[in-house]
Structure 1
Amino acid sequence: MADVTTELMFEVLKAVQVRLAQVDGKIDELKQEMQASRTSQNGIRHEITSVFQEISGIHATLVRHEGRLDRIENRLELNDAPTL
């Protein structure tokens, strides 16, 4: 069996350091991608909230118009009920 020398250990450690540097680089890339995804997700969440607010406003307008139409129909004595 080959004797383990300090030079051999040094070469192995250098290879480990190179691999570790590559892993660190990949982790940094993943962190950046995750941050970009979070930013995008927050933008989408904001857009969805805006859409819900707009729909809520439209719904309130429709409810107001329905109430007005009901009052107009009652005032003009218009009914959907069949006459006997």
Structure 2
Amino acid sequence: MADATAELTLEVLKSVQARLAQVDGKIDELKQEMQASRTSQNGIRQEITSVFQEISGIHATLVRHEGRLDRIEKRLELADAPTS
């Protein structure tokens, strides 16, 4: 009777051990997927940052051109006359 209980316990423990090995494998897969996602996110962040920097540069150029056009209009007296 004790041998049967010991064998049964051993079989259950083997089953639990096999399941734990599967869980460990799945956890390793999830870790790899998370790392890949983080790497992808970092790449996207860098792309977004470069887009914002480029837009900022374009904005600065437009501001400079607007100032130059204002000066040209004043010099040529092309400014709109104020309305009453």
Report the TM-score when normalising by structure 1: 0.91
1:38-78 per-residue CA deviation (whole Å, 9 max, x = no partner) reads: 00000000000000000000000000000000000001111
Matched, 1:48 2:45: no
- What percent of counterpart residues are identical? 86
Change (3 A) 1:45 1:83: closer
Q: Which moved more, 1:4-13 or 1:32-41?
A: 4-13
Which has more helix, going by share of residues? 2
1:11-47 per-residue CA deviation (whole Å, 9 max, x = no partner) reads: 0000000000000000000000000000000000000
Q: Which residue of the partner structure matches residue 16 of structure 1?
A: 16
Deviation at 1:80, TM superposition (A): 1.6
Aligned length: 83
SS of 2:78 mapped into structure 1: coil
Q: Which residue of the partner structure matches residue 60 of structure 1?
A: 60
Q: Which residue of the partner structure matches residue 38 of structure 1?
A: 38
> Cα RMSD over matched residues?
1.8
Which structure 2 segments of 5+ residues have no match?
none
